[in-house]
């Protein structure tokens, strides 16, 4: 014997619509808002980036060791050494303004470069003064 036949009123109760409950259900309004999406740092490596405008480098005597193209506003190592040496040897000609124009740099960056980076000076001592301390 099945359970439905034991209580015939239950099947009727299950299939009957309750108009009062349907009316109350129609008055229910649900509004849902998602929390703001958190953007994780470091996710930009997969995003397409805009193309940087590049320029050909001004190759010095170390041209084979240098890169051939750099983004505008930047310089290569060889260019940095070259412009620092040119400014050191002839500061009246190689002014910060001329360097900024020549290498497509910001003037403030060139001024900082010239102030904080000084190329080495190599000095050779005469052969007769090889000893650091002379005997007396």
Q: Which pLDDT value is given to residue 122?
A: 72
Distance, in Å, from the CA atom of 76 to the CA atom of 84, rounded to the nearest integer, reads 12
Query: What single DSSP character describes residue 62?
Result: T
What does the domain layout of the chain look like in residue ranges? Answer: 54-116
pTM: 0.45
CA distances from 114 to 18, 71, 90, 104, 119 (A): 87, 20, 13, 15, 10
Q: Which pLDDT value is given to residue 92?
A: 94
Q: Which pLDDT value is given to residue 65?
A: 57
**pLDDT tens by residue, the chain, 136 residues:** 455 556 777 877 777 888 888 888 888 878 888 877 776 665 555 555 566 666 666 665 555 555 677 778 888 888 888 889 889 989 999 999 999 998 889 999 999 999 998 777 777 777 765 555 555 5
Nearest to 56 by CA among 108, 97, 104: 104
Residues written for the chain = 136
Q: Which pLDDT value is given to residue 108?
A: 93
């Amino acid at each position: 014997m099945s359970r439905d036949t034991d209580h015939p009123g239950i099947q009727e109760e299950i299939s009957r619509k309750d108009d009062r409950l349907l009316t109350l259900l129609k008055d229910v309004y649900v509004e849902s808002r998602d929390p703001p999406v958190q953007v994780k740092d470091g996710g930009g490596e997969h995003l397409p980036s805009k193309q940087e405008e590049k320029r050909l480098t001004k190759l010095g005597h170390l041209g084979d060791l240098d890169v051939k193209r750099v983004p505008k506003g930047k310089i290569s190592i060889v260019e940095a050494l070259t412009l620092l040496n040119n400014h050191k040897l002839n500061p009246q000609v190689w002014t910060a303004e001329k360097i900024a124009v020549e290498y497509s740099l910001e003037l403030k960056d060139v001024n900082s470069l010239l102030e904080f980076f000084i190329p080495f000076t190599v000095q050779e001592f005469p052969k007769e003064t090889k000893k650091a301390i002379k005997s007396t």
